[in-house]
Structure 1
Amino acid sequence: MNNKMQKKIIVIVGPTASGKTSLSLKLANFFCGEIINADSVQMYKEFDIGSSKISLKDTHIPHHLLDIINPGEQYNIFYFQKDVRNKIMNIKIPFIVGGSGLYIKAALFDYELNISKNYENQSYQNVTIEHMLTFLFEKDPNLVLDIKNPRRIISAYRQAICNSLRSQKNGSNRPLFDILTIYLNIETQFLKPRVILRLEQMLKQGFVQEVKYLMNKYPNANFNIIGYREIKEFLEKKISFQQAYDLIITKTLKYAKRQKTWFMNQMLSLVQLEALDPQLETKSIDIIKNFLKKGKLND
């Protein structure tokens, strides 16, 4: 077994407002671990309120890949894969928290991201930019992409198509590490009021003002992100505030549903825990202790 396969990784995932951040801080503190952020929006500086980004001033837990890029700069799954793998090998007990399922899998599994020359000439030229954007954001709603740059959109679309074809050939379900994934489950009837409360808190913290500030300072930044997109459209007088409010809630809940389906189908060694369970922290600690001691959950 190589050094990578011996390296144990704990992944904490779940929908918005499920308590991932709170739980990960407690677990990282208990196990003297470090947190690697897998939320693509939180990687960008000043996208704070709308991404529910933790302030590093409020915690002593080391965080990685948080506030590392200026808005408008290019950062994609290729950079993330490289950065996470480098970080992992230098952290004793890494906790990956997020975020984009596709990003996480690309970093932790034998996911080939090199573009195959066999697919260089795929007939994507006949596909509209709108179709490309729809396809890309359906695959990853939190994808950060300069939507005003057609060349980047075409490049991202081509890469996504090629990667889908290559992943089918290359067995992308082979993990490179010993992975434990904890998914925080919460049913929609309980998640919706938490999402509403989260949005209300964001608005009180100045979410609208944050988006306005970012629009003025970084006009080329990507705002095609749930929450930021709707508030931007409100500020541009394309929709009413109530429409923006309702759209954020609806899209967040739909995204949560897609996330759950994706993680259940794609991540190995996944343990599903109830986010509202009073014993969540204790159960998580016991599961991780067993994982770290025995290596594999089924040993």
Structure 2
Amino acid sequence: MKKVIVITGPTSSGKTDLSIYLAKKFDGEIINSDSVQIYKKYNIGSAKITFAEQKSIKHHLLDLKEPDEVYTIYDFQRDCRKIISNVRLPFLVGGSGLYIKSALFNYELSNKKNTSIIYKNDKKVYDVDDMEFMIREIRQKDPKLVFDKYNPRRVVSAYLDLNSDKLRSQKKYKNNPIYDILTIYLDIDKNILQARVIERLEKMFKMGFIEETKQILQEYPYANFNIIGYREIKLFLEKKINLTEAKKLIISKTMNYAKKQKTWFKNQMKINVINVLDSKLKIKTFQIIKNFLKGAVYD
């Protein structure tokens, strides 16, 4: 089986720096596995790697789509697997666990769409009435399905699956890897993580986080703002909350997401947990990968 390395962990854990270091050491290439960074324009708020950093190592699946274009987990699975097949040693780097697992395990996903309601020229144009219609259709045609009706993306995804060969509630999601996977999870004490999150957030505001969000709003009325940070800044720009409230919400939601993220990876994938504050972090991760690659033959 082809060997694939995953570098994951919460925001502000140092995934970018470590992955570049390791990919250079082992002559690998990096596949972005952050679902937000697939899109253009979401740069500051997603802590997207800079062009200068990208020059030092080959990166894939960054800035593929405009903010209002459609890119599903099916698209990621397809594109990621294609890149893996063409790359000597792929490093999947990011925190979008379901995206990562869909690419590396034998998940069966559907690409069938009903374009009559929610897509026009590949742009997302659904409104409240569309959402209510889709929820009714899901409940009528797949009553056994449990889904989050308050999450537009989940509703849309479940609605699209109504047109697949099997209803989503009937699908058997296989759980076997199709590659030889090494997953390194960068762990960090929650208090230290929170301090880092606060520091990074202040840096983002100085870099122009508010202006970036405002520009996306102006240029892409149907862009996705159901993203931690962008959602709260949008509320601030709409004068629904003040800036202090926005910052508190971003920090709180980021920390909650980090907690859920860690639980998900522990339950869903076999991970090697490494303390970010370990003074020998690079040495240890280098050795783990070296041992993992022993006996591997490359073209």
Which consecutive unaligned segments of at least 5 residues does structure 2 have?
A: 113-136
Three-state SS of the structure 2 residue aligned to 1:134 is coil
Change (3 A) 1:20 1:77: same
Match of 2:129 in 1: none
Whole-angstrom distance in 1 between the partners of 2:6 and 2:140 = 35
Q: How does 1:88-167 map to 2 (within 5 A)?
A: 88-114=84-110, 123=139, 132-134=148-150, 145=153, 152=156, 155=159, 162-163=167-168, 165-166=170-171
Match of 1:54 in 2: 49
TM-score of the two chains, using structure 1 as the length reference? 0.83
Deviation (angstroms), 1:101: 0.5
Which consecutive unaligned segments of at least 5 residues does structure 1 have?
A: 1-5, 137-144
Three-state SS of the structure 2 residue aligned to 1:89 is helix
Deviation (angstroms), 1:253: 0.3
Cα offsets for 1:171-213 (capped at 9, x unmatched): x220000000000011211110001011011111000000001
Conserved 8 A contact 1:11-1:96: yes
1:64 alignment partner AA = H
Match of 1:240 in 2: 242
Change (3 A) 1:77 1:19: same
Whole-angstrom distance in 1 between the partners of 2:239 and 2:268 = 40
Whole-angstrom distance in 1 between the partners of 2:160 and 2:277 = 38
Whole-angstrom distance in 1 between the partners of 2:79 and 2:109 = 14
Conserved 8 A contact 2:76-2:99: yes
The size of the alignment, in residue pairs, is 267
Three-state SS of the structure 2 residue aligned to 1:123 is helix
Match of 1:175 in 2: 177
User: Following superposition, which runs of at least 4 residues in structure 1 exceed 6 angstroms of deviation?
Assistant: none
1:49 alignment partner AA = I
Change (3 A) 1:215 1:157: farther
1:29 alignment partner AA = K
TM-score of the two chains, using structure 2 as the length reference? 0.83
Match of 1:272 in 2: 273
Change (3 A) 1:291 1:163: farther
Deviation (angstroms), 1:99: 2.2
Match of 1:287 in 2: 288
Match of 1:34 in 2: 29
RMSD: 2.5
Conserved 8 A contact 1:115-1:159: no
1:200 alignment partner AA = E
1:204 pairs with 2:206: yes
Q: How does 1:205-220 map to 2 (within 5 A)?
A: 205-220=207-222
Deviation (angstroms), 1:294: 4.5
Give percent identity, aligned residues only: 52
1:251 pairs with 2:253: yes
Three-state SS of the structure 1 residue aligned to 2:183 is strand
Q: How does 1:55-74 map to 2 (within 5 A)?
A: 55-58=50-53, 59-74=55-70
Whole-angstrom distance in 1 between the partners of 2:168 and 2:110 = 8
2:223 alignment partner AA = A
